[in-house]
Amino acid sequence: MNMSKKTYKKYAEARAPRSPILKNCIRAFFVGGLICTIGQGLKDIYTNLCGMNKEDAGALTAATLVFVAVLLTGLGLFDRIAKFAGAGTLVPITGFANSVASPAIDSKSEGWVLGVGAKIFTVAGPVLLYGTLTGAVYGLIYWCVCMIGG
């Protein structure tokens, strides 16, 4: 069967299953919203019941969400939730935690150094690298502007 790229594209699109976009968006909205609501609830608990200031409560909330996401990843439950919710689990900090934990768990059999240590940042590494680099460049620009402006 000899067909052009254009013909093949039409052929593939006609046979590919349609994605239920509206259903996926609704699921992502509600699960992502639920994760954020849980985070807000944790922050309120840490602030009102534990007497923490807002900054410390925010940091502990983020750490708690990361811990829960990594725990769920290790138990194999995060993937099930992500399969149902799609991007709803990706957007909050839980998605970042999962992207760090998953490669580490998958490569554990290769050892702690060459497996976990080498592969833990395969997904999140570029985010950390370019986030840090952007912050440094922004800081340098800010410093230069402050020096010129007085």
pLDDT per residue as tens, the chain (150 positions):
677 888 888 888 888 888 899 999 999 999 999 999 999 999 999 999 999 999 999 999 999 999 999 999 989 999 999 999 988 888 778 888 888 888 877 777 777 677 777 777 777 778 788 889 999 999 999 999 999 876
- CA 78-115-133 angle, to 5 degrees, is 80
Q: What is the C-alpha separation between 142 and 145, in angstroms, rounded?
A: 5
pTM above 0.85, yes or no: no
Contact 36, 44 (CB under 8 A): no
Q: What is the C-alpha separation between 40 and 61, in angstroms, rounded?
A: 8
Residue whose structure tokens are 């290769």? 110
Cα dist from 96 to 1, 33, 62, 125, whole Å: 44, 16, 11, 11
